[in-house]
A and B are shown apart, each in its own frame.
Chain A
């Protein structure tokens, strides 16, 4: 069993240099260009309000808004990419953080891997996760656009029991992925559940909220490395 698994992982179809030069490096170039353009474009509405309607907050007001938002969010901005990078891959990271809602990207990346029987951390795994994320972004943009054009009309006509049921989407979504992983590594999942519960119950008293998820990820990785070193479990 272990041999079969390990040969599958080692059996990356492309030599690492080729994969890095022909996939990772171009992905970084593409991502960088798109991010810089997106950054400029995202201020277009604010600048338009200034240029066309002559309304703009004073410089000091903008600075104070920026300070409030950055101080409230900077911990997340740093923690999230670190926590999710190995799951999303390079191209997947660029797409996911441009579009946001990790709640959607992560499950779709993992679902795409499992539907195609691909190992996370392999070249095939990264390729499938990236395609899954790409598909999920298309759906997100379609729904957001539909929402913008006819959202108020559609929502006004939905019964309340249906709109209320959407609050269960995150719980159900994570649980399905949880169920998908449990068969692969019950030992790691079991450990993760225990540390997660301890963190949510006691860790929350001493660790800042933004670091709880990362702490759980780090603990699981350390435990995984420990099992690998001691028992060569992969």
Chain B
């Protein structure tokens, strides 16, 4: 029997589903909890909904991009495992690497002729082992919260300062990493940044458009990058 028949079988769909449901459940629980505390803090429901909608809209671009990489994973390990693994931890390239490492351990190569049900099982183990990283977050998050709150009690300026400084550290590093990866990347980044700044000018006249700024700027960046690579690539 071809391993893909098993990999795409109803029973695999069934056992991959619970974790996807769990992800939606944690979002619902945290959404509710956050809305409660927001209400207590006197923050308007309208603002909260706006933040939630902005998250929904802004994630469309990268989610569609992830879609493209997903196909490679699906042809290798079938749809159900891809569905499950990309709903958690969610990086198709890393998953493909882990699936490959799993197959490698029993002397098989993903995508090659000798890759069979045993290789597939080893790949599934390889991808599942990635979940160990959650244990680190389990230990880390409560500690970090504690430290952060001690900071905040001492001087609330400090917490704001550390937040904005970390943010600029992340932003500048990731942007420069992409900008230095090639001319087309640099043009895509520059076009997206310029669009964002220009869109920012419209926010007093068109406040409703604000939630779409990130999406629009990203789209313009993608177009600029593609045009550059078509013209000079």
Chain B residues whose CB sits within 8 angstroms of the CB of A140 once the complex forms: 59, 63, 66, 87, 90
From B27, B40, B140, contact of A14 by CB (8 A)? B40
Say whether, besides A174-B175, A200-B180, A148 and B88 are in contact (CB < 8 Å): no
B221 touches A176 (CB 8 A): yes
A30 touches B163 (CB 8 A): no
Say whether, besides A31-B141, A141-B23, A152 and B71 are in contact (CB < 8 Å): yes
Chain B residues whose CB sits within 8 angstroms of the CB of A73 once the complex forms: 94, 130, 133
A110 to B173, CA, bound (A): 16
B67 touches A135 (CB 8 A): no
By DSSP majority rule, is chain A's interface helix, strand, loop, or mixed?
Answer: helix
From A132, A142, A223, contact of B55 by CB (8 A)? A132
From B42, B60, B79, B141, contact of A149 by CB (8 A)? B79
From B83, B84, B148, B175, contact of A86 by CB (8 A)? B148
A115 touches B51 (CB 8 A): yes
Q: Is A207 an interface residue (CB 8 A)?
A: no
Q: Mark B10-21, 1 if CB is under 8 A from A, else 0.
A: 011001101110
Chain B residues whose CB sits within 8 angstroms of the CB of A85 once the complex forms: 140-141, 144, 148
Chain B residues whose CB sits within 8 angstroms of the CB of A168 once the complex forms: 184-185, 188, 221-222, 224-226
A148 to B61, CA, bound (A): 17
Minimum C-beta distance from B191 to chain A (A): 7
A57 touches B196 (CB 8 A): no
Minimum C-beta distance from B224 to chain A (A): 8
A133 to B214, CA, bound (A): 14
Chain B residues whose CB sits within 8 angstroms of the CB of A142 once the complex forms: 63
By DSSP majority rule, is chain B's interface helix, strand, loop, or mixed?
Answer: helix
A82 to B136, CA, bound (A): 11
Q: How many residues of A contact B (CB 8 A)?
A: 161
A116 to B51, CA, bound (A): 7
Say whether, besides A98-B23, A101-B91, A155-B71, A165 and B163 are in contact (CB < 8 Å): no
Q: Is B33 an interface residue (CB 8 A)?
A: yes
A14 touches B41 (CB 8 A): yes
Q: Which of B213-233 contact A (CB under 8 A)?
A: 213-214, 217-218, 220-226, 229-230
B81 touches A23 (CB 8 A): no
Q: Is B96 an interface residue (CB 8 A)?
A: no
